[in-house]
Structure 1
Amino acid sequence: MGRVKGLAVLLFLLSGCNEHQSTLAPFGAEVRDIRSMFVVLVTGALVILLFVAALYVRAVRAQEGRLSHEAGMRMVLWVGAIGPALVLTLLLLYALPAMRPRGASATDLVIAVRGEQFWWRVAYHGNGDGQPLVSANEVRIPVGRTVAFELTASDVIHSFWVPGLAGKMDMIPGRTTRLVVKAEKAGRYRGVCAEFCGLSHALMAFDVVAMESAAFDAWHERSRKPAEIAEREGRGAQAFDRHGCGACHAIRGTPHRGVIGPDLSRFGERASLGAGTLAPTRDAIAAFIRTPQDSKPGARMPDFAQLSTADALAIADYLKALR
């Protein structure tokens, strides 16, 4: 019965692992190396454990007087000290080169990510015109190419972590840290903040979209252009303007240039609302606009309860059309 319970607990713990957010399912070169290092280190630890277990069994089962004091001391020396020391030395020699950070050249893509309470400001540098491509709560990277993340924070310490791509990196206000990565497999993955940063710390996730190199270049070029807005003068666009949404949010191709909140250009392409908090359905967007504190406590976006449901739905339709 005890074994069944132990197996059930193990299966329960393993159920938390998935290919979208797990160091055991790498899509980046750094995490692949980390997983390999993990396997080697665990193997080394098991070898040491077997040495010590063999010493224990030999000592317990030996007949009295069969093992002299000198022979016992030699066994302790070799099996309990020299053997493990050699194994640990070999593991250290293996691990040190693997811990060397990846280098980046001046021509590699640079993505600046700034942690906010509680969302992510993203800017792609190197457009050729000197102007970064700004986005929010979603990071797109090309497969097979080196990418340098420049990480910082606006308010409190955050931590940038994409479990399948690379290790954690703190984001500290007033300081820029650099994380160089290389994706090896296309797909959509999940990143999170790994440093407690306030009430909605657990509601601060982001999508990482690893794209084939040609597809990324096409997306990058297309995204620099304003989104195609079917009804620039429709009710949603008018409500967005009338209620002052552009004071905090920017939409490329419109007069709205706000920088306090997330950039909403091509909002309709994003897979989540509120930094991974909600599915971007029409009703969820409208509810978030009116009372963001209900789904994201501590967020700096104020409530707009005075906004009519009809206007909120119209703005939701407008935002979903930004592609």
Structure 2
Amino acid sequence: MRNPWLWTILLLGLGACNAQQSALHVFGAEARQVREMAILLTIGAAIIVTVMVLIYVRALRAPEGALSHRSGMRIILWLGAIGPALILGALLLYALPAMRPRETAPGDLTIRVEGEQFWWRVAYGASRAGPGLVSANEIRLPVGRTVILELGAQDVIHSFWIPGLAGKMDMIPGRTNRLVVRAEKAGRFRGVCAEFCGLSHALMAFDVIAMNPADFDAWLAGARGAGKGLVPSRGQSLFDAHGCGACHAIRGTAHDAAIGPDLSRFGQRRTLGAGILPPTTANIAAFIRAPQIAKPGARMPAYPQLSEQEAIAIAHYLEGLK
């Protein structure tokens, strides 16, 4: 290995590649267009830079007096002004049509996503008639269907970004921004907040699960019926006794608060605390007793009065919500 520094830089660059969260590993139509535009813009810039470098090298090697003032000005005009303007103008004409928002139809699925400090509230089919199916920190999309994402915020400005699906869009309190997307490939991906919003800004990710349309329809129907047949347990009694239902909703119970994340079907989620921890029993119990350790600035109060066994009992109850 003649140049260890070069290999080190290359390995570090490869380590940054991530199929779940990458603007180059796309699974949506909008992100695919963005990637194509980025590649073309890079090629255009490379052509301009290469031509200018070649002119510079030739000028250095040319004998004195080989280039007259008139010839030099002509080269500057064509290769320094007109040429780059034509290339950049062509790239702009190519990019403008791709900037138009995707067309929607009345029957398209609408998903309301609101940024919180520091998690994500998700509602499927939200409308004036009601909030629809409410979830948290996870967005499921049917492949091949147009989906309207209505983006808002409750506290501060957030930035909604699923790199492999579409570009970034701000989430502003008191305002609703619309992002129209279409997933083209099934899989599990990742979204993040792309604008500083507080102490745990870097600790609020979410899962994006693109599903085959039939599987999505089955999941949505099952999710709407969540909470049926819940078996009473010690964990549920502790959950009720310590007032957890004052902030969290669980379908099929008397708890319907909307301060914190909806915990219905919590047992199916693949992460805890908005993408920061695996949802093991120990992690859930520790998060219940002291959430600020894992997520500084979180608004969820700590419960140090709970014993470790009591917190584990509540964790088992939450794991069973499927």
The TM-score bracket by the shorter chain reads: over 0.9
After superposition, the Cα gap between the structure-2 partners of 1:195 and 1:229, relative to the gap in structure 1 and judged at 3 Å, is farther
Deviation at 1:229, TM superposition (A): 5.1
After superposition, the Cα gap between the structure-2 partners of 1:3 and 1:79, relative to the gap in structure 1 and judged at 3 Å, is farther
Q: Equivalent residue for 1:311?
A: 310
Work out whether 1:290 is the aligned partner of 2:321: no
Instruction: Report the 3-state secondary structure (helix = DSSP H, G, I; strand = E; otherwise coil) of the residue aligned with 1:31.
Output: helix
Deviation at 1:40, TM superposition (A): 0.5
Instruction: Report the 3-state secondary structure (helix = DSSP H, G, I; strand = E; otherwise coil) of the residue aligned with 2:181.
Output: strand
Q: When the two structures are superposed, what TM-score results if normalisation uses the length of structure 1?
A: 0.95
Which amino acid counterpart does residue 33 of structure 1 have in structure 2?
Q
Work out whether 1:253 is the aligned partner of 2:252: yes
Gaps of 5+ in 2: none
Query: Take 1:239 and 1:65, find their aligned partners in 2: how far apart are those partners?
Result: 91
Query: Take 1:130 and 1:173, find their aligned partners in 2: how far apart are those partners?
Result: 20
- Indicate if the aligned counterparts of 1:229 and 1:321 stay in contact, CA closer than 8 A: no
Q: Aligned-pair RMSD on alpha carbons?
A: 1.7
- Indicate if the aligned counterparts of 1:283 and 1:313 stay in contact, CA closer than 8 A: yes
Aligned identity (percent) is 64
Deviation at 1:277, TM superposition (A): 1.5
Work out whether 1:162 is the aligned partner of 2:162: yes
Higher mean displacement: 282-291 or 219-228: 219-228
Which amino acid counterpart does residue 267 of structure 2 have in structure 1?
G
Which amino acid counterpart does residue 236 of structure 2 have in structure 1?
A
Query: Take 2:89 and 2:276, find their aligned partners in 1: how far apart are those partners?
Result: 46
Q: Equivalent residue for 1:204?
A: 204
Q: Deviations over 1:12-65 (max 9, x none)?
A: 133212110000100111111111001100110111112212221222222222
Deviation at 1:200, TM superposition (A): 0.9
Deviation at 1:172, TM superposition (A): 0.6
Q: Equivalent residue for 1:265?
A: 264
- Indicate if the aligned counterparts of 1:51 and 1:80 stay in contact, CA closer than 8 A: no
Q: Equivalent residue for 2:152?
A: 152
Deviation at 1:2, TM superposition (A): 9.0
- Indicate if the aligned counterparts of 1:119 and 1:275 stay in contact, CA closer than 8 A: yes
Q: Equivalent residue for 1:133?
A: 133
Q: When the two structures are superposed, what TM-score results if normalisation uses the length of structure 2?
A: 0.95
After superposition, the Cα gap between the structure-2 partners of 1:131 and 1:121, relative to the gap in structure 1 and judged at 3 Å, is closer
Which amino acid counterpart does residue 182 of structure 1 have in structure 2?
R
After superposition, the Cα gap between the structure-2 partners of 1:239 and 1:109, relative to the gap in structure 1 and judged at 3 Å, is same
After superposition, the Cα gap between the structure-2 partners of 1:83 and 1:23, relative to the gap in structure 1 and judged at 3 Å, is same
Q: Deviations over 1:248-271 (max 9, x none)?
A: 111101111111110000000000
Q: Equivalent residue for 2:33?
A: 33
Query: Take 1:270 and 1:12, find their aligned partners in 2: how far apart are those partners?
Result: 31
Q: Equivalent residue for 1:276?
A: 275
Deviation at 1:130, TM superposition (A): 5.4
After superposition, the Cα gap between the structure-2 partners of 1:98 and 1:7, relative to the gap in structure 1 and judged at 3 Å, is farther
- Indicate if the aligned counterparts of 1:229 and 1:322 stay in contact, CA closer than 8 A: no
Q: Equivalent residue for 2:238?
A: 239
Which amino acid counterpart does residue 244 of structure 2 have in structure 1?
C
Q: Equivalent residue for 1:55?
A: 55
Query: Take 1:81 and 1:297, find their aligned partners in 2: how far apart are those partners?
Result: 52
Query: Take 1:194 and 1:64, find their aligned partners in 2: how far apart are those partners?
Result: 54
Gaps of 5+ in 1: none
Work out whether 1:119 is the aligned partner of 2:119: yes
Query: Take 1:126 and 1:153, find their aligned partners in 2: how far apart are those partners?
Result: 15
Alignment of 1:59-138 (within 5 A): 59-125=59-125, 132-138=132-138
After superposition, the Cα gap between the structure-2 partners of 1:260 and 1:120, relative to the gap in structure 1 and judged at 3 Å, is same
Instruction: Report the 3-state secondary structure (helix = DSSP H, G, I; strand = E; otherwise coil) of the residue aligned with 1:166.
Output: coil
Query: Take 1:61 and 1:11, find their aligned partners in 2: how far apart are those partners?
Result: 38
Q: How many residues are treated as equivalent by the alignment?
A: 321
Q: Deviations over 1:258-309 (max 9, x none)?
A: 1111000000000001101211001111111111111111111101110122
Alignment of 1:185-196 (within 5 A): 185-196=185-196
Query: Take 1:69 and 1:80, find their aligned partners in 2: how far apart are those partners?
Result: 15
Which amino acid counterpart does residue 76 of structure 1 have in structure 2?
I
Query: Take 1:202 and 1:67, find their aligned partners in 2: how far apart are those partners?
Result: 56
Query: Take 2:216 and 2:158, find their aligned partners in 1: how far apart are those partners?
Result: 27
Query: Take 1:49 and 1:104, find their aligned partners in 2: how far apart are those partners?
Result: 41
Query: Take 1:268 and 1:44, find their aligned partners in 2: how far apart are those partners?
Result: 49
Q: Equivalent residue for 2:9?
A: 9
Which amino acid counterpart does residue 169 of structure 1 have in structure 2?
M
Query: Take 1:226 and 1:98, find their aligned partners in 2: how far apart are those partners?
Result: 40
Which amino acid counterpart does residue 317 of structure 2 have in structure 1?
Y
Query: Take 1:38 and 1:256, find their aligned partners in 2: how far apart are those partners?
Result: 48
